[in-house]
């Protein structure tokens, strides 16, 4: 009757192997309690935070008062708003950080970006949560190799 115990142990270990790459993602509410608004220092907010692939930005604001456009570096600098309809407008906009690198976001309402500093730039680290192999994935595979050895060891015990 070792079979059932065997299956349970292998299942638990399999979960332990898979879990680290799926649960470390973090949700960041942009601006914390202030949310996505005017006259807020988003550079100060982003400073010291390390964003990883798989993390999520949550833009919170009263619907209709602001919006969120993902732009490139030059549009960020000049506060150039892309065509309407390409922005996020729900007031609770969740953006999953899919790739490493710099990400720029601006508000497209009136001159909120140009005159009232409603703009955010962050840098996303390539991370262990990346779906594709990332430069610093050595620790991930190191951990997985270790767990694979543990699973093998448990197999041999039965």
C-beta of 120: minimal distance to Cu ion in Å? Answer: 12
Of 6-14, 63-71, 91-99, 145-153, the segment contacting Cu ion by CB under 5 A is: 63-71
Residues between 98 and 117 that touch Cu ion (CB under 5 A): 107, 109, 112
* Contact flag: residue 60 with Cu ion (CB under 5 A): no
- Number of residues counted as binding Cu ion (CB under 5 A): 5
**Cβ–Cβ < 8 Å for 128, 20:** yes
C-beta of 37: minimal distance to Cu ion in Å? Answer: 7
* Contact flag: residue 13 with Cu ion (CB under 5 A): no
Question: b vs e for 81-92, b when ≥16 Cβ sit within 10 Å of the residue's Cβ?
Answer: beeeeebbbebe
What span, in angstroms and rounded, lies between the C-alpha atoms of 141 and 148?
A: 10
Q: What is the dihedral of CA 139, 143, 149, 154, to 10 degrees?
A: 180
What span, in angstroms and rounded, lies between the C-alpha atoms of 18 and 46?
A: 30
Contacts with Cu ion, 116-145, as mask; x by CB under 5 A: --x---------------------------
Q: Which residues bind Cu ion (CB under 5 A)?
A: 66, 107, 109, 112, 118
């Amino acid at each position: 009757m070792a079979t059932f115990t065997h299956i349970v142990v292998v299942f638990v270990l399999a979960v332990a192997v898979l879990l680290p790459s799926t649960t470390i993602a973090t949700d960041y509410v942009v601006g914390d309690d202030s949310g996505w608004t005017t006259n807020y220092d988003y550079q100060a907010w982003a400073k010291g935070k390390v964003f990883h692939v798989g993390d999520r930005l949550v833009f919170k604001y009263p619907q209709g008062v602001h919006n969120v456009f993902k732009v490139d570096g030059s549009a960020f600098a000049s506060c150039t708003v892309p065509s309407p309809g390409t922005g996020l407008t729900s007031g609770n906009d969740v953006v999953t950080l899919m790739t490493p690198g710099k990400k720029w976001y601006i508000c497209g309402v009136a001159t909120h970006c140009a005159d009232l500093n409603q703009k955010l730039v962050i840098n996303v680290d390539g991370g262990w949560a990346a779906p594709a192999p990332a430069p610093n994935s050595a620790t991930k595979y190191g951990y997985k190799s270790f767990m694979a050895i543990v699973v093998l060891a448990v197999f041999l015990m039965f």
